[in-house]
Amino acid sequence: MDGASGRAAARARRRGGLVRGPARPGPGRGRDAAPRVAAALPAARTSGGQRNRGGGRTVRQGVFDEPVRTLFLDAGNTLVGLDHDWIAQQLAAIGIALDPRQLERAEAAARPAVSRALGRHGTTEGRDAFAIYLDAIAAELERRGAIAARDRARLARDLLPRLRDEGGPLRLWGRPLPGAREALERAAERGIGRVVVSNSDGTVHTLLERAGMLPWIEHVVDSHHVGAEKPDPAIFRHALAISGADPRTTLHVGDLYHADIVGAHRAGLRAVLLDPFGDWNGVEAPTVPDVRTLVQRITAG
């Protein structure tokens, strides 16, 4: 890190910013390059991108009418996921026994309901938003017979403070998703830009650093520091501005329709929805099970 970068990092740390230290170099980046972290929302260009319609379990050709030269990626449930084993331990501490695999499946199945609820709520961040998330997961667990009805309210009520006090977001979202780092490496090797665009509380840079993914990411855009969160198109326009990406050749991928797909479309971007178990129906976006599958598709041939 050069002197100017060091001074910027020190200022960011004093402000509670995202810069925690230098990243290791990766393919497609200079040896001294580190992921740039969005700090303020500048004026940015817009583009009247085409709205994509479709559906189904695999990506349809319409998403690839233009080549993909830059990939925008959500972070949670896209590159890093919930630590289901740790959450199951916290549930056991409040008297609810649950197999981590049941939790993983229920969380994915709850995403459509979470997306609708957070769309009404107006934000994906904060204590109330996460309470909505937990309640939707609890409802899905009850529907599947994994927990008793009497435990549903208790799960959402009693688990939330434990997750916050025992580990916080860095522990909660501390699981690198299988194949995600390899997908970033492959995209880098093929010359595809990699930009993380995340609704977060200021911790996404550290999450990705701990997951060993920063060497393969060129820019990190955290809504907490930008001052806009998905689906506001301003956060996508900001990502376009700092990365120099062309919206016509940029593709966004994420796990929540309301935040990721609606927001990307509003910014004139193509978008793909992550759907690992086939739980999304009737949405205006093609789906893939994971980032690895998507990168294989856009780098094929």
Please spell the DSSP secondary structure of 235-269, one letter per residue.
Answer: HHHHHHHHHT--GGGEEEEES-IIIIIHHHHHTT-
Residues 6+ apart with CB under 8 A from 287: 55, 56, 57, 58, 59, 272, 273, 274, 275, 278, 280
DSSP state of 65: S
**How many CA atoms are closer than 13 Å to the CA of 191, on its beta-carbon side?**
3
Cα(239)–Cα(221) distance, integer angstroms: 7
Q: What is the mean pLDDT of each run of 10 residues along the chain (301 residues)?
A: 37 33 35 42 32 36 79 98 96 96 98 90 68 93 95 89 82 96 98 98 95 98 96 98 97 98 97 98 92 95 67
Alpha helices in the chain (DSSP H): 3-14, 84-93, 100-121, 127-143, 149-166, 168-172, 180-189, 204-210, 223-226, 233-243, 262-266, 291-298
Task: Tell me the three state secondary structure of residue 58.
Answer: coil
> What H or E segment, with its residue span, contains residue 73?
strand 70-73
Structure tokens at 250: 């940029």
Note the pLDDT of residue 8: 38
Tell me whether residue 244 is exposed, middle or buried, using C-beta atoms within 10 angstroms of its C-beta: 0 to 12, 13 to 18, 19 or more.
exposed
Q: Are 200 and 75 in contact (CB under 8 A)?
A: yes
The pLDDT of residue 33: 40
Residue in 21, 274, 17, 231 with CA at minimum distance from that of residue 125: 231
- Tell me which amino acid residue 193 is: G
What pTM did the predictor assign?
Answer: 0.80
Cβ atoms 247, 277 nearer than 8 A: no
Query: Does residue 173 contact residue 199 with C-beta atoms inside 8 Å?
Result: no
Question: What sign for the dihedral angle of Cα 114, 175, 215, 192?
Answer: negative
The number of angstroms, rounded, from the C-alpha of 75 to the middle of its chain's C-alpha atoms is: 3
